[in-house]
Structure 1
Amino acid sequence: MSTPPYVEIAKRLKGLRDALEMSAQELASKVGVKVEEVEAYESGKKEIPVSYLFEVAKACGVDLTVLIAGKEAHLHTYALVRKGKGLSVERRKDYDYKSLAYKFSGRKMEPFIVKVPPKKEEDITFNEHSGQEFIYMLKGKLEIRLGDDVLILEPGDSLYFSSRTPHALRGLDGEAEFLDVII
């Protein structure tokens, strides 16, 4: 069995915090989570939400690409990513994320192509984080739960919401694919 990708990301998170001489409590306060969450993500034993990585990158003044891939983004004018060539963000098993702007330095948003497989209703997990999110459906059918509301999105549909709202996703009738932009 191979090592989960988030184990390497966990090492980079801990290394960054140590390099900045920041306590786990200080980082927790800056990104709006409990210190136990910071410690769990840095341990390499818990999957790390991309939203958490985004918040850590902002709070620490680094590019998200550094945390995901271990290297700096380097383009400043534009960054072209060809079809199917986004940077895989292998940090959790639920979804397949591909970063579409990983080469661009100083990003103000994080665009991803996300694929969500079908799953049973009882297997969904909720997530919440600071910021806002925009989803534009490309393929399939997506169920998104925003708190107690259940929405079904199909190709061409879009949704903009506060990421502070607890949200969970699952593909319906097969895999769902969408553009997801986090700010």
Structure 2
Amino acid sequence: MNSKNKIGKKIKAFREFRQVSREDLALKANLDPKQLEYIEEKGTVPSLGHLIKITRALGVRIGTFLDDLDHVGPVVVRAGEEKSTLSFSTKDKKTREHLNFYSLAPDKTGRHMEPFMVEIEPANESDYKLSSHEGEEFIYVLEGAIEINYGKNIYRLNKGDSIYLDSIVAHNVHAAGEKAAKIMAVIYYPV
């Protein structure tokens, strides 16, 4: 089973275990029921914002749908051994936003933070779709440069720069210019 189908199947299994209808979950997560159907049945990968809304509506952490194994003690991820969790793309083909997420703690049980290494491919358009979700984010630029649309402001961060932001404010992270970027992102959201 590829990672796309795995996410949707896990969401569906968990939803059914909790005896929540697809329509009720879509309503609680503020999603169109068709979107949720595509995620569960056709392997459509939700955006990170939508995945967070689904996990929040179900009262679980995002790792519930991304993890394969759980370890109670510390988890060490050696350089080059990051697990490719999945790629997030918007469904709007005009912007071509694309983010490849690599989990830095996929096997840690009971965690409250989600650390990722993220490769950000450049986009052609400057009309970025903003999203918001509960919680906080810490971003550190490892390579290249990024821009963050945050509310009405735009922040440019270069290699070595970092930002800590409240995720409830509508935002978008994208590569600055025509070159790819790589960031470390730690996402926290209350369950």
> 1:17-36 CA distances to partner (integer Å, 9 max, x unpaired)?
01221123443465x42353
User: TM-score, normalization: structure 2?
Assistant: 0.78
Partner secondary structure for residue 175 of structure 2 = strand
Is this contact kept in 2: 1:24–1:35, CA < 8 A? no
Tell me the equivalent position of 1:158: 162
1:114 matches 2:118: yes
Partner secondary structure for residue 125 of structure 1 = coil
Tell me the equivalent position of 2:79: 83
Provide the alpha-carbon RMSD of the alignment: 2.6
Percent identity for Structure 1 against Structure 2: 29
Unaligned runs of 5+ in 1: none
In structure 2, what is the Cα distance between the partners aligned to 1:21 and 1:79?
A: 33
In structure 2, what is the Cα distance between the partners aligned to 1:157 and 1:86?
A: 22
Range with greater deviation from structure 2 (6-15 or 94-103): 6-15
Please state how far the C-alpha of 1:60 moved relative to its aligned partner: 4.1
Is this contact kept in 1: 2:82–2:102, CA < 8 A? yes
Q: Give the letter aligned to residue 108 of structure 1.
A: H
Partner secondary structure for residue 74 of structure 2 = coil
User: TM-score, normalization: structure 1?
Assistant: 0.81
CA distance 1:62–1:147, shift in 2 (3 Å): closer
Please state how far the C-alpha of 1:108 moved relative to its aligned partner: 0.7
Unaligned runs of 5+ in 2: 90-97
Please state how far the C-alpha of 1:87 moved relative to its aligned partner: 1.8
Tell me the number of residue pairs that the alignment of Structure 1 and Structure 2 aligns: 178
1:137 matches 2:135: no
Partner secondary structure for residue 116 of structure 2 = strand
Please state how far the C-alpha of 1:42 moved relative to its aligned partner: 2.6
Partner secondary structure for residue 92 of structure 1 = strand
In structure 2, what is the Cα distance between the partners aligned to 1:85 and 1:123?
A: 34
Please state how far the C-alpha of 1:159 moved relative to its aligned partner: 1.1
Tell me the equivalent position of 1:34: 31
CA distance 1:125–1:99, shift in 2 (3 Å): same
1:99 matches 2:96: no
CA distance 1:4–1:143, shift in 2 (3 Å): farther
Please state how far the C-alpha of 1:79 moved relative to its aligned partner: 0.2
1:74 matches 2:86: no
